Amino acid sequence: MSIQHWISLFWEQLKAVPLLEWIGVSFGVAEVLLAKANKVWLYPCGIIAVLISIYIFFHAGLYAESALHVYYFVMSVYGWWRWQKGNNALTHITRANRSDWLVTTGIVVVAFFVLYFVLIQFTDSTVPIFDSWVSATAWAGMWLLAKRKIENWILLNISNAFAIPLLIYKELPLYALLTLFLFIVAILGYRDWSRILKKQKQVHEFSFE
């Protein structure tokens, strides 16, 4: 198929997007922008976006993606509670060491095969390999993010890169655009964290002079 055909197909999908999907993606964008601004309202927006996404992905046959958003929901509730308690102190950003990479690889491998097995045995998924891979790499990225490891952006963008064509294939064009937006944010996030990491190193070296 030509590029023009894919663009035409994408445009036709976009015109047929239901209202619920527009609402879900709108709240998803609001969550990202509020997170960038360090505002606590990111969490209620994120919870609404996640609940809508769970419903949409499940009915689109993206069961692993739907399950992944259940985890997002739990973390959003926890994060909102933690911010309300005022316990949002930031720790230093670091790079993943050998032990971190072993755990990260383990998460990807185990999550992929478990999700793939569940999808082929207990669901009617038509994309078990891609659905499992997108979710497994996202799980690993979130684990690195929780540990404030700069490499979390790499794993999350591996997930995003595969998620974009998967979402287009499943006729979810708005979510594909949202994921493209997240892909760009992750690139900027890696750049910003690299600068912070460099400043931390300079401060650390200065304190020992």
| CA distance linking residue 55 with residue 69, whole number of Å | 10
Q: Is residue 43 part of a domain?
A: yes
pLDDT for the residue 1: 52
Q: Is residue 113 part of a domain?
A: yes
Q: Is residue 91 part of a domain?
A: no
Taking 50 as the pLDDT cut, the residues of the chain under it are 87-89
The model's pTM: 0.80
The string of DSSP letters for 20-32 reads: HHHHHHHHHHHHH
Alpha-carbon Rg for the chain, nearest whole angstrom, is 18
- What DSSP state is assigned to residue 96? -
pLDDT for the residue 89: 46
pLDDT for the residue 43: 86
pLDDT for the residue 68: 87
The dihedral sign for the CA sequence 119, 104, 202, 198: negative
Number of domains forming the structure of the chain: 1
Q: Is residue 74 part of a domain?
A: yes
pLDDT for the residue 206: 57
Distances (CA, A) of 126 to 14, 39, 63: 22, 39, 10
| CA distance linking residue 165 with residue 173, whole number of Å | 9
Residue 94 phi/psi, 5° resolution? -135, 170
- Note the maximum CA span of the chain: 63
Q: Classify burial at 87, counting beta carbons within 10 Å of its beta carbon; exposed 0-12, middle 13-18, buried 19 or more.
A: exposed
pLDDT for the residue 88: 46
pLDDT for the residue 105: 97
- Tell me the residue range of the domain where 7 lies: 3-86+96-207
pLDDT in tens, 120-171: 999 999 999 999 999 999 989 888 887 878 898 999 999 999 999 999 888 8
Q: Is residue 144 part of a domain?
A: yes
Residue 23 phi/psi, 5° resolution? -65, -45
CB contact at 8 A, 170 and 156: no
